[in-house]
Amino acid sequence: MTSLMAIRDMLALEGRLQAAQIGQRTATPLPLVEAMLKQLEAMGRVVSLSADEAGCATGACRTCPEGKNCQPRWWALRQ
């Protein structure tokens, strides 16, 4: 099982990650990782970045019929 400090350290090393990536690397269930990220956000340690801030991979999000539903949520340390 992972800890809040382990997630914080992973974000410090990688820069930004998605919750699913953190879950895979730490073998932790996604709902637990998301809860831990929310706790770190409440503590002021991490921030959630939308694809607009992180950069859209395809550049076609404005015309996509799905709207912004497909945009991943990235997590990074607060600067």
Which positions make up the binding site for iron-sulfur cluster? 56, 61, 64, 70
Maximum C-alpha span of the chain: 41
Percent helix, percent strand, percent coil in the chain, to nearest 5? 45, 15, 40
Q: Which residues participate in the annotated binding site?
A: 56, 61, 64, 70
